[in-house]
Amino acid sequence: MSAIITDRNPIKIGVVGTGHMGQYHINLLTKIIPNEYIFIYDVDTALSSKMAKEYDVTRCSSYEELLSKVEAVVVVVPTFLHYEYAMQAMKANCHVLVEKPISNNLEHAQLMMSYAKDNNLTLHIGHVERFNGAVQALRALVKNPQYFQTQRIGSVSRIQDVGVVLDLMIHDIDIILSLVDSPVKEVSAYGESIITNFEDYALATLYFENGVIASLTASRVSSYKARSIVLSQEKNYVDLNYATNDLLIYRNQDTEYNISQDQITYKEGHIVERVFVHKDNPLKAELEYFIDDINNDTGDKYKNILWDAHSNLYTMEIAFRILEEIERNKKNRT
């Protein structure tokens, strides 16, 4: 049993799915609430037994047993099972945090959101980048954005039951939608399947009604890893590298033209500012928010977290518009 010193009102939480991400959740929960408040379940009994022993938490022999013991559930099963497990938990009157994407089916996502609202239950989606300190710092710098460019690329992903749009690009869709105060007017997108039955790389452009343009790239077949977002606005250019948490602001200092008979030379000077980023574990912050929200104790601490049913569904809607465009363009090329 671990000694947790906190002013947070602990609740009993179950984790269903003890694979790669499930282990992260279990480990971090042991740092937030007492171990005896944590229950786990997985169809792989050998794996869940190992995790229960390693983290000193309680293993349940069935999902129904877990639901009978807890007040909230973290759903970390394959995406196609999210709807089934999340709905079963909510019907047992449990609050739910489900890993992103909420579902591989937009209608299921809408049904889950509606059920949670109608039954006064907390339903959160694991858009963990919202809790990244660098993203919070970036949000404070965005005044009047004109253009965004994102990269989220790397080698083969452990998640292969959805494509890169729902696996990777959805993070950047979610962040950009929260930074642009305007609906998306038009979407263009291209993608290809290389190693799975889903798109393994995708390029998308979002055109907003207020004139903002966002260009997004996602890949899981690249030989190197990059995670970044850059934005241009009237007075500066902001560059965020997720891998290093470096947040840089480039400001124009002066521009100089020299014209002679033989040539024209151009010199542009910049002031580069490095923004201090508070480095905390985003997933731990997300779990703390989940617990605080269940206890109606979010307050000003989370005022920069844009988290509501509309934003969650709108992120999914735009992701599916991108997928539709990818399929349309595939058919046009055949």
Give the pLDDT confidence of 161-206 residue by residue, as tens digits: 889 999 999 999 999 999 998 999 999 999 999 888 899 999 999 9
pLDDT at position 224: 84
Q: In order of start, what are the domains of the chain with their CATH numbers?
A: 13-126 (3.40.50.720), 130-280+305-333 (3.30.360.10)
Query: Which tokens sit at 176?
Result: 């950009």
pLDDT at position 94: 98
- pTM confidence score: 0.87
pLDDT at position 269: 54
Q: Phi then psi for 195, rounded to 5 degrees? A: -120, -10
Separation between Cα atoms, residue 255 and residue 234, nearest integer Å: 15
The size of the chain, in residues, is 334
User: Average pLDDT per run of 10 along the chain, which is 334 residues long?
Assistant: 59 96 96 96 97 97 98 96 97 96 92 95 91 88 94 79 92 93 95 91 97 96 90 91 90 59 57 82 92 82 62 90 93 74
Q: Phi then psi for 187, rounded to 5 degrees? A: -130, 135
pLDDT at position 234: 87
Say if residues 98 and 77 touch (Cβ distance below 8 Å): no
Q: In what order do the strands lie in the sheet with 38-41?
A: 58-59, 38-41, 13-16, 72-75, 95-99, 123-126
> HSE (CB half, 13 Å, CA atoms) of 71?
11
Separation between Cα atoms, residue 103 and residue 99, nearest integer Å: 9
Cross-strand pairs, 251? 236, 271
Query: Which tokens sit at 62?
Result: 């069935």
pLDDT at position 155: 80
- Sequence-distant (6+) residues with CB within 8 A of 255 are 266, 267, 268, 269
pLDDT at position 124: 92
Separation between Cα atoms, residue 88 and residue 249, nearest integer Å: 46
Strand ranges (DSSP E) for the chain? 13-16, 38-41, 58-59, 72-75, 95-99, 123-126, 145-153, 184-192, 201-208, 213-219, 226-233, 236-241, 246-259, 264-274
Separation between Cα atoms, residue 233 and residue 196, nearest integer Å: 38
pLDDT at position 1: 47
Separation between Cα atoms, residue 120 and residue 114, nearest integer Å: 10
Say if residues 80 and 52 touch (Cβ distance below 8 Å): no
Query: Which tokens sit at 118?
Result: 């109608």
Say if residues 154 and 312 touch (Cβ distance below 8 Å): no
Q: How far, in Å, are 114, 205, 206, 314, 320 from residue 325 at the CA level?
A: 27, 11, 11, 17, 9
